[in-house]
Chain A
Amino acid sequence: AQSVTQLDSHVSVSEGTPVLLRCNYSSSYSPSLFWYVQHPNKGLQLLLKYTSAATLVKGINGFEAEFKKSETSFHLTKPSAHMSDAAEYFCVVSDPWDDKIIFGKGTRLHILP
């Protein structure tokens, strides 16, 4: 059975400093993994996806994530936080064979001025 765990419910960083949002997954097969962002009162937007190609995935707005099979992790990073990055971030795992999709509980990112 698939599952996804976002290790922090809240993360606070200062503007201009690096961002790290942690995600661990469990899957019986080679999963597809995604990060979505949700700004207040907005729909979910895809940041990036991993689907068994390059393990380092670059997404929009300067975000990237690295798939580490040995650690079953897919952490999201950004070198320098911007105020506009303040939002809720969801890690998502999908089994490519049955299309079942599981969302993590989310990490709220706060950017301090």
Chain B
Amino acid sequence: EAGVAQSPRYKIIEKRQSVAFWCNPISGHATLYWYQQILGQGPKLLIQFQNNGVVDDSQLPKDRFSAERLKGVDSTLKIQPAKLEDSAVYLCASSSLAGRNIQYFGAGTRLSVL
């Protein structure tokens, strides 16, 4: 079974630029999560989708971050414009409705904002 795929693995941008991350969850997993993990901290949930609907985006900085999962499969997370404090690893995870709460994680995208 293929795991959660994320791209790119690394991204370096300057502040005020835009960036987008892509995630393809495990086939058949209805729930998709985006997390931000700042160095030295645990992952913080940014947004949770179930199919193509948003379940929780209470910690998403909506003035600069956006995410979509239009067809209920893969998802894109965008930052526009980026700030220095956005430097982090962005993790995508997915889970099935049957195995609720058990999340499978991708390798993450490491973003450096200069």
Interfacial residues, chain A to chain B (CB-CB below 8 A): 32, 34, 36, 41-46, 49, 51, 90, 94, 96, 99-101, 103-106
Quick check: A104 and B42 within 8 Å, CB to CB? yes
Q: Could you give, for residues 44-56 of chain B, a 1 whenever the CB lies within 8 Å of some chain A CB and a 0 otherwise?
A: 1100100000011
Cβ distance B94 to chain A, nearest Cβ, rounded Å: 12
Inter-chain contacts of A103 with B (CB < 8 A) = 35, 42-44
Q: How many A-B residue pairs have CB under 8 A?
A: 52
| Complex-state Cα separation, A52 to B101, whole angstroms | 13
Quick check: A43 and B106 within 8 Å, CB to CB? yes
Please give 5 more A-B residue pairs, beta carbons under 8 A apart, in addition to A34-B101, A43-B3, A44-B93: A46-B103, A51-B101, A96-B100, A99-B55, A103-B42
Quick check: B108 and A106 within 8 Å, CB to CB? no
Asked whether any CB of chain A lies closer than 8 Å to the CB of B19, the reply is no
Can you offer 14 A-B residue contacts whose CB atoms are under 8 A? A34-B101, A34-B102, A42-B107, A43-B4, A43-B91, A43-B106, A43-B107, A46-B103, A49-B101, A99-B101, A103-B42, A104-B42, A105-B42, A106-B41
Q: Given A90-B43, A99-B55: A43 and B105 within 8 A (CB)?
A: yes
Inter-chain contacts of B48 with A (CB < 8 A) = 99
Cβ distance B37 to chain A, nearest Cβ, rounded Å: 9
Cβ distance A93 to chain B, nearest Cβ, rounded Å: 10
| Selected contact of A44 from candidates B41, B43, B44, B56, CB within 8 Å | B43
Residues of chain B from 8 to 41 with CB closer than 8 A to chain A in the complex: 31, 33, 35, 40-41
Inter-chain contacts of A34 with B (CB < 8 A) = 101-102
Inter-chain contacts of B43 with A (CB < 8 A) = 44, 90, 103
| Complex-state Cα separation, A32 to B95, whole angstroms | 15
Inter-chain contacts of A105 with B (CB < 8 A) = 40-42
Inter-chain contacts of B65 with A (CB < 8 A) = none
Q: Given A101-B45, A104-B42, A106-B42: A46 and B91 within 8 A (CB)?
A: no
CB closest residue in chain A, given B42: A103
Inter-chain contacts of A104 with B (CB < 8 A) = 42
